[in-house]
Amino acid sequence: MPSRILQRFLLPASILLILLWGLARLPPSRGPLPDEPVAASGGASPSPSPSPAGAAADDPLPLARNPSPAELSRLLHLKFNRAHVRLDEGLLTFRDAAALQSFLARARAAGVEVLDRIDALNTARVRVNDYAAFARELAASTGDYTAVASNAILPPPTPPVEARSARLSEPVGENLLATLGVRAADPAWGRGVTIAVLDGGVLNDAAFDSRLRQLDVGYGIIGGGTDGAHATSVAALAAGASSDARGVAPSAALLSIRVTGPDGSGDVFSVARGIYAAVDAGAQIINVSLGGYATSQVLADAVDYALSANVAVVAASGNDQAAQLVWPAAYPGVVSVGATDALGKQALFSNSGASLQLTAPGYAIKTVGAGGTRISFSGTSASAPVVSGSIAALLSSNPGLNALQAADLLATYSTDSGPAGPDPDYGRGTVNLDRALRRAAPSSKP
């Protein structure tokens, strides 16, 4: 009898141990990094802000258990010096404007340098020079803070693997408008509409005539090297007007906002800052052809700010052939865009995901390069401005629409690709601009 009882318990226990051993060997998740809330001293942690879909909440700083200054300093150093974040940088969000102003007055004594701030969010971007002093500040003024976050990096877009794509995909080349179903292009498309390009700083080119202006949010206005070339290619696909580089909306105004540093990478604060600046400058459409697998609440709040103003945020889904979208494309309400070839097939490199909204041409499209050149450009970085330009064309043709309504029409009248209905590879469909513009015709019914 004892042996039977022992057998009854040994088998489940052995299975449990094997499962635990297997879980311990799993690699760490490469999930997004959401905002990190601050636990109030002497009480329970407040409920964190809702994390983006798929994000696992980071632990708050353990102020409720009154860590020693040395331990808190160590935790802060770890938080601001891990992979995929700006080293020694923090994003500090305060309960109100008065708390932010009070902090700014004592920032130097708190061991930090204030690099920038977004007053609408009561958020400051800081560089920590003295972790011990900042730990003392945080412990003494916990009630002033609502979040202490890392500044996650949004790296330069990963170039698609062209050699592999070339074997299986059809280049778009000079046939962008035909690929969008356009029978007769209208040179007035985009008139009265401003598209903001948040990227590496658009370079001057004849394709933009006098419609390009730049806005400085801390990185200057003109990109250099590959980041400037990337931004210029993106802008031309949305609104190029020359015969050898025709974008979708050749009469749209372009607002270039540089959000990347010399290495071509951006970060969540700079992109959030750019979104706020674009909305305040009157842009109806914001194109973001960059992104990463880490984020923060400051970026989510910026997206919400744009959406509340009926401004469409159009973002590239990523070029990693991954089953998840990069941020900010992954946020609800963002017009996330994947890539297709000239035949409407999903490009091999294009990221997929349940939140994908649309696909658009993004393989080997002729556009503007650096120094007045004309190049072949691929990636979801190319697909996003095609959608931005298409939204601008709809807006100029339908003055009663706002940008969010135009984006929804573009999706409603897209070509259903893949399985019937929305799917992770094509979203709600592949852009068919002609169908959206002629939606009143019986042949254009969804």
How far CA 28 is from CA of 173, 213, 246, 251, 326, in Å, comes to 41, 44, 45, 48, 18
Closest CA to 289 of 340, 355, 336: 336
Block residue for tokens 């009854």? 8
CA 392 to chain centre: 20
- Helix crossing, 380-397 with 403-412: angle to 10°? 110
Lookup: tokens for 236: 């031309």
Please tell me which residue in 227, 230, 267, 336 is annotated as part of the active site. 230
With residue 176 as reference, give the H or E element that holds it: helix 176-179
- Residue 386 main-chain phi, psi, to 5 deg: -60, -40
Block residue for tokens 């499209």? 365
Alpha-carbon span 181 to 164, nearest angstrom? 27
Pairing of strands 374-377, 365-368: antiparallel
Amino acid letter, 407: A
SS3 content of the chain, % helix, strand, coil (to 5): 35, 20, 45
Alpha-carbon span 296 to 425, nearest angstrom? 26
Residue 29 annotated to the active site: no
Alpha-carbon span 7 to 5, nearest angstrom? 5
Residue 230 annotated to the active site: yes
Hey, which bits of 95-238 come out as E strands?
112-118, 123-128, 145-154, 194-199, 212-215
Please tell me which residue in 381, 383, 390, 417 is annotated as part of the active site. 381
Alpha-carbon span 415 to 418, nearest angstrom? 10
**Contact assessment for residue 395 and residue 316, using Cβ atoms and an 8 Å cutoff:** no
Please tell me which residue in 35, 144, 199, 227 is annotated as part of the active site. 199
CB-side exposure of 114: number of CA atoms within 13 Å? 20
Alpha-carbon span 232 to 223, nearest angstrom? 9
Residue 77 annotated to the active site: no
Instruction: Provide CB contacts within 8 A for 224, sequence distance 6+.
Output: 201, 262
Lookup: tokens for 261: 């540093």
Which residues form the catalytic set? 199, 230, 381
